């Protein structure tokens, strides 16, 4: 996907394309009101629109990302509402059928998140979970009665914690897809630090990505059945 990306805006990378593949394969967006949290270039929002979403809203803390997402959606004549602000704040009080998120999740040297550098696109604090945990806490309040959340992050962040965080808010959550990818430039630069902290094995230069789906218990099992079958096929292709 060729998108306009100003300096400082997160590029479409393997985690984004992985989530897009699962989104399409599972038919998750069709007919749903979709929210893309931390939209960057708007890649996930545009993918949801192409997959038949009833409406699409995109949010980002970066003004450059908001501008990029707005411009990319207009150039492709996609109806997308773009909002500026911190995580779920700009759409507080609204309800969505599907929330998509590729949050910052790379373990960093400290918990002080950058505000004005591109590293804010990937830094997730010491354990990589600062933004992931906020999403687990704030996202459920935006879900419609049969809504769901699809979030991608590295297995280094501990998927079991994400599952528990969602469960604590009353959602049912499960890993629906996995794939292994080579370290990108950021992870390669931090490999020694990650090894020293025991987050990766010595010499390890690839990581596992996971996609977690969280949903209300009242979500129709029949709706999940088709999505699960398609997701399984997608997961098999990308594993």
User: Does 9 reside within a domain?
Assistant: no
Specify if 44 maps to a domain.
Answer: yes
User: Residue 232 belongs to what domain range?
Assistant: 14-238
Give the residue carrying structure tokens 């394309």. 17
Rounded to the nearest 10°, the torsion over CA 85, 90, 96, 98 is: 10
| CATH code of the domain containing 208 | 3.40.50.150
Q: Is residue 117 in a domain?
A: yes
> In the prediction, which pLDDT does 230 show?
45
d(CA 88, CA 147): 15
Residue 5 lies in a domain: no
Residue at 8 is within a domain: no
Which residues of the chain fall below pLDDT 50?
Answer: 220-227, 229-239
Within a 10 A sphere around the Cβ of 133, how many other Cβ atoms? 18
Residue 167 inside a domain? The answer is yes
Whole-structure pTM value: 0.90
- Going by the DSSP 8-state scheme, the letter that residue 90 receives in this structure is G
Instruction: Measure Cα distances from 220 to 4, 39, 148, 173, 183 in Å.
Output: 38, 28, 11, 14, 38
Residues 6 or more apart whose CB falls under 8 angstroms from that of 136 comprise 162, 165, 166, 168, 169, 214
pLDDT at residue number 116: 67
End-to-end CA distance of the chain: 21
The predicted structure's pLDDT at residue 1: 66
Domain count along the chain: 1
Q: What is the Cα–Cα distance from 110 to 107, expressed in whole angstroms?
A: 8
- What count of Cα atoms within 13 Å lies in the side-chain half-sphere of residue 199? 23
Q: Is residue 75 part of a domain?
A: yes
DSSP-assigned letters across all residues of 23-34: HHHHT-STT-EE
Q: Which helix (H) or strand (E) holds 64?
A: helix 63-75
Torsion of CA 111, 113, 117, 119, to 10 degrees: 60
State pLDDT tens for residues 111-150. Answer: 888 876 788 899 999 999 999 999 999 999 999 999 999 9
Answer for the pair 34, 96: CB distance below 8 angstroms, yes or no. Answer: yes
Q: What is the pLDDT of residue 225?
A: 46
Inside any domain, residue 2: no
For residue 212, what are the CA distances in angstroms to 66, 109, 127, 228, 234?
A: 25, 26, 18, 12, 14
């Amino acid at each position: 996907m060729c998108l306009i990306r100003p300096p400082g805006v997160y590029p479409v990378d393997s985690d984004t394309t992985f989530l897009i593949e699962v989104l399409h394969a599972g038919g998750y967006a069709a007919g749903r009101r979709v929210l893309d949290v931390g939209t960057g270039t708007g890649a996930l929002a545009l993918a949801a629109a192409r997959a038949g979403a009833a409406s699409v809203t995109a949010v980002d803390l970066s003004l450059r990302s908001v501008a990029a997402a707005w411009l990319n959606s207009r150039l492709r004549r996609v109806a997308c509402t773009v909002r500026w602000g911190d995580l779920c704040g700009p759409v507080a009080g609204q309800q969505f059928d599907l929330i998509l998120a590729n949050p910052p999740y790379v373990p960093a040297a400290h918990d002080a998140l950058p505000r004005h550098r591109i590293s804010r696109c990937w830094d997730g604090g010491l354990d990589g979970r600062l933004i992931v945990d906020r999403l687990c806490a704030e996202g459920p309040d935006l879900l419609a009665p049969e809504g769901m959340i699809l979030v991608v992050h590295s297995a280094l962040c501990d998927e079991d914690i994400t599952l528990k965080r969602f469960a604590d808010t009353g959602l049912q959550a499960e890993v629906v897809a996995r794939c292994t990818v080579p370290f990108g430039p950021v992870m390669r630069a931090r490999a020694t630090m990650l090894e020293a902290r025991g987050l990766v094995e010595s010499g390890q230069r690839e990581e596992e990505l996971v996609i977690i789906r969280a949903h209300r218990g009242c979500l129709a099992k029949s709706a999940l059945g088709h999505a699960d079958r398609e997701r399984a096929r997608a997961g098999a292709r990308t594993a």
